[in-house]
Amino acid sequence: MKTYGTKLKKLTSAIYPIAFGVLIFIMWQTQLLHKLLNTDVYILPLPSRIAEIISDNSSKIMENVISTVEVAIPGLILGSVLGYLIAIIAALFKTYGSGGLTVISAFNAVPIVALAPVITNWTKDVSPEASVRSFAAKVIVVTIMCTASMSVNAYRGLTELKPFSEDLMKSYACGKGKTLLKLRLPNSVPYIFTALRVSVPSSVISTLVAEYFAEYITGVGRQIRENILTAQYATAWAYIVVACLIGIIMYILLILAESIFLKNRRQVLSIK
């Protein structure tokens, strides 16, 4: 009975969002949504029109998608690695670590729209090539935005240990290094994926915003801006849909990796 209830809960948790999305899509395509929002088809193009633009401009859109992904993924990786290293230092040296985490968390409170122009200005002497300068600025912005969530969550995983587990390691005469490798790092693995659930969407959003202010006119975010400025709202909406798809696909890949990795981890722990 309990298993049936769990399966039903999982099924309904998937059905409800899908049903809501289908409802919005139907209201949008039939222009009922336009009446509710008091807008017109020019400002809010129909889904069929957006799909047509994506199909007709697939090659150009793909070029911009690649440009965006090439920034989001390196920034996500660098930010996650940097955040994890900061968390390790904070866990090993708690006197100074808490202060460092506070500073890192403060960066996360800075709006991306305020941070991106500053970073763009800082990187103006990185290279004579505008494409290189823009790439560096965008990656730095994404790295900063992804560092905070990883450092805070990883710190919890490194410090919130099972009762008496750390005392047990001390009874075995384990030093800080061995305790870190055998106890703290394995315990932090689920928290890493928790941080990535925040960082993956954040990396895409940060990239899109950074592209608004970059010198080099490329990327999905920049195309959204350029088409809005020229009142090409249908094309802008096409890029908005593509941006959403990038975030959704990256998040799905993360969930799949998490399910596989944590499942294997649980199997190893059960064997031990």
Across 124-137, b (16+ Cβ under 10 Å) vs e yields: eeeeeeeeebbbbb
Give the pLDDT score at 70.
93
What is the structure's pLDDT at 5?
63
What's the confidence (pLDDT) of residue 271?
A: 44
DSSP 58-111: HHHHHHHHHHHHHHHHHHHHHHHHHHHHHHHHHHH-HHHHHHHHHHHHHHHTS-
- Encoded tokens for 6: 């769990």
Note the Cα 174 to chain centre separation in Å. 37
Gap between the terminal Cα atoms of the chain: 31
Which tokens sit at 206? 């940060």
* Superfamily of structural domain 45-271: MetI-like (1.10.3720.10)
Task: Enter the tokens of residue 114.
Answer: 């305020």
Domain ranges of the chain: 1-44, 45-271
Helix axes 233-271, 220-229, angle to 10 degrees: 160
Whose tokens are 């996360």? That residue is 108
Opening angle at CA 224, ends 80 and 57, nearest 5: 105
Q: How many other C-beta atoms lie within 10 A of the C-beta of residue 72?
A: 28
State the pLDDT at residue 95: 72
CA angle at residue 210 from 59 to 226, to 5 degrees?
A: 50
pLDDT at res. 209: 92
The dihedral built from the CA positions of residue 81, 206, 201 and 129, taken in this order, carries a sign that is negative
Closest CA to 206 of 86, 75, 63, 64: 75
pLDDT tens track, the chain, 272 positions? 456 666 667 777 778 888 888 999 999 999 998 898 898 898 899 999 999 999 999 999 999 999 999 999 999 999 999 999 988 888 888 777 777 787 777 777 778 888 888 888 888 887 788 788 889 999 999 999 899 889 989 988 888 777 666 656 666 566 766 776 777 788 888 899 999 999 999 999 999 999 988 888 889 999 999 999 898 999 999 999 999 999 999 999 999 988 888 776 555 444 44
How would DSSP label each residue in 230-248?
TT-HHHHHHHHHHHHHHHH
Distance CA 138, CA 123 (A): 10
Residues in the chain: 272
